[in-house]
Structure formats: C-alpha cells, structure tokens
C-alpha cells in the first residue's frame, strides 16, 4: 500500500455552509496523523495555477462559524481538458502532494474521478458538499441543513407580509434536479403547494388546490417552487395561475444565492467535521477514488463511480403525502 506524506485539500463548484468545518477537520486530522497539509485556492483552478500554500493548525482557527470557504471556490473549464489535467498533475508532483481531499458536488467528483483514473498515483477522496442533497452515498450532504433553515426563516417572514395583504406568494428555491430543500421547507412553513422536479404537478391541479383554499377561507397562500420544476420558471407559473384566479394579488420571490450563505448550522458543523476526519482516515487506510458520506448516522464509504451514476430518490414519501394533507 502506497503511503502518503503530503495532503492537498480544495473546495470546488458551488459553496455550501459547512465547508469550513470540513477544511478544519481535514487540516488538523492530517497534521495530527503526521502529514503535511497544503491548501489549494479556488478549486481545480488553483491546481492549474499552482495557487497553493502550506497549512498548520492555526490556519484553520476560528472558522467553524464561517459560511463560504476560506480556500475559495471556482468552476474551472480548463481542468476538463487533458492539457489542464496534465498541468495540475505536474504542479502536484512539484509540490510533493500525493493525496487530495476534494469537497464539492457532482461536478467536482466528475473531475476528481477522471483525474484520478488518469493519474492513479494521486489518491483522491471526496466529501459531498452541496446544498442540493442530491448525491448517492450520503443521506445528507454538507450545507443542506443550513440552506433549509435559511429558506424556512425567509419564508416565515414572507408569510407575515402575505397574510397582512391577503396575497399569494410564489417562492423559488434552489434545486435544479432535487426538490429536497423545497419539500422540507414547504412542510416546515405550511406551504399550500410544493412543486418539485421529481414529481409532476399539473398547473390545473395547482389552480384547483388554490381555489379550494379560497373556498376554505384561506386569505393568503404560499407556493414553493424548486427551480428545476418541469412546469418552467416561477414567473411563468405565477402568470398562468394569475390568468385563472383573478382574486389573488400574486407576488414572486426568488431566494437565489441567499440560500448558500450564512453561518453553518450545528448539524452541518458536526457533519463537516465528521466527514473531513473520515476522509483523511480513509486515505491513510489506502482508499482512493471514493467518497465519505453519512448513512443512518454512520460514516460510510462509497466509490465515486457509484456516487455519480447511482440515483437515489431522497424525497420521503410520508413528507410528500403530508405536504398535501396538512395544507388543506
């Protein structure tokens, strides 16, 4: 088994709350285990530009409560090319780095797997960091809990003004391929309807539900739309409903990048710490081209191949049924 002596850590793709606790755990676990640890700025772009620096335990002091990522992040098109990967590899060899912990989502893992297959002497371990909660191999991904709490807080405030003005609000949340945030936030906030990428909802059915709410003397309503819903953009959906239901004063709010920011929740701080620690331990035990994740509150290791190709329906059936029943 090839031993490692120098470890690199990077964050790539969209940022997620909890990345900093994970970086902290990687750095301190690595140093405690006798490894030299190098921080790589701006993800794969930092590999290509050789933007790296030595880290020590104090490099990650007082970052548990910080959103974003101290290592910065970026999406790097050159890393998708053979030339870009070769440059990254040569920079890693020059730095003496023989293992990487990559924190990010499916795009990050796709790059990591391709790179590791091309250069197998660099061991790679993934940590699922994405608010979308859409990776196989981990019940929860880093940032999902914080993002959901952020959405719930925002919708609670919108509910106040919706009720004051007897308005119908359409609220778009992140989730191009996953309705995980939309579903949980909808249940938490008592949304009258939740539109999800995983579940087809006819606009006619939505209109009937809203009319039923009027009949039941609901003065205001909240409809949560995941950005990947098959009916199109939230403005198009709101316009179609407005054409059929004239009595409502309809407003649209897109929460956008608000959902990625903010101090990580206690859950994401613990999860980030556990996954960062587990990633380093897995590398020391000889694993590569894999991902650490949380399943049934235990750390499990999944191959990157599985994480990228297996699709798991993560929306709980009881929550989906409850959302309809409790909105009457």
**What is the C-alpha to C-alpha distance for residues 97 and 278, in angstroms, rounded to an integer?**
19
Sheet containing 99-104, strands listed edge to edge, beginning at the edge strand earlier in sequence = 52-55, 36-40, 6-11, 99-104, 123-128, 290-295, 298-303
| 132 in active site | yes
Give the 3-state secondary structure of residue 18. coil
Cα 209 → chain centroid: 31
Contact 303, 321 (CB under 8 A): no
Task: Please count the residues of the chain.
Answer: 328
Cβ within 8 Å of residue 22, ≥6 positions away: 103, 127, 129, 142, 272, 273, 275, 276
Reported in sequence order, the residue ranges of 58-165 that DSSP labels E, i.e. its strands, are 99-104, 123-128
Other beta carbons less than 10 A from residue 8's beta carbon:
27
Q: Which of 98, 106, 132, 229 is catalytic?
A: 132
Number of H helices and E strands in the chain, helices first, is 11, 11
User: How far, in Å, CA of 13 to CA of 109, rounded?
Assistant: 10
User: Encoding tokens for residue 31?
Assistant: 């140093």
Taking a C-beta distance cutoff of 8 angstroms, is the pair 43, 73 a contact?
yes
Q: How far apart are CA 172 and CA 159, in angstroms?
A: 14
Phi, psi of 149 (to 5 degrees): -60, -40
Report CA torsion sign: 52, 104, 293, 290: negative
User: Active-site residues: which are they?
Assistant: 132
């Amino acid at each position: 088994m090839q031993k490692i002596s120098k470890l690199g850590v990077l964050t790539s793709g969209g940022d997620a709350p909890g990345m900093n606790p994970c970086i902290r755990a990687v750095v301190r676990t690595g140093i405690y285990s006798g490894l030299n640890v190098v921080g790589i700025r701006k993800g794969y772009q930092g590999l290509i530009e050789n933007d790296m620096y030595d880290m020590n335990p104090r490099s990650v002091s007082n970052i548990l409560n910080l959103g974003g990522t101290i290592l910065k992040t970026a999406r790097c098109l050159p890393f998708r090319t053979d030339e870009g990967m070769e440059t990254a590899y040569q920079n890693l060899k020059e730095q003496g780095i023989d293992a990487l912990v990559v924190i990010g989502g499916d795009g990050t893992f796709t790059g990591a797997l391709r790179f590791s297959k091309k250069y197998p002497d660099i061991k790679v371990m993934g940590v699922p960091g994405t608010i979308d909660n859409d990776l196989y191999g981990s019940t929860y991904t880093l940032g999902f809990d914080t993002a959901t709490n952020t959405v719930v807080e925002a919708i609670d405030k919108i509910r106040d003004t919706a009720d004051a003005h007897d308005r119908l609000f359409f609220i778009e949340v992140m989730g191009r391929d996953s309705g995980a945030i939309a579903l949980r936030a909808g249940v938490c906030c008592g949304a009258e309807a939740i539109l999800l990428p995983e579940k087809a909802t006819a606009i006619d059915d939505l209109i009937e539900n809203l009319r039923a709410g009027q009949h039941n003397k609901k003065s205001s309503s909240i409809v949560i739309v995941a950005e990947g819903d098959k009916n199109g953009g939230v403005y198009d959906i709101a316009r179609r409903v407005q054409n059929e239901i004239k009595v409502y004063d309809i407003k649209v709010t897109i929460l956008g990048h608000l959902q990625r920011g903010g101090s990580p929740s206690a859950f994401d701080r613990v999860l980030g710490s556990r996954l960062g620690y587990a990633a380093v331990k897995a590398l020391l035990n000889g694993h590569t081209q894999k991902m650490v994740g949380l399943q049934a509150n235990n750390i499990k290791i999944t191959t990157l191949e599985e994480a990228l190709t297996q699709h798991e329906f993560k929306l709980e059936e009881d929550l989906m049924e409850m959302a309809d029943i409790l909105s009457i």
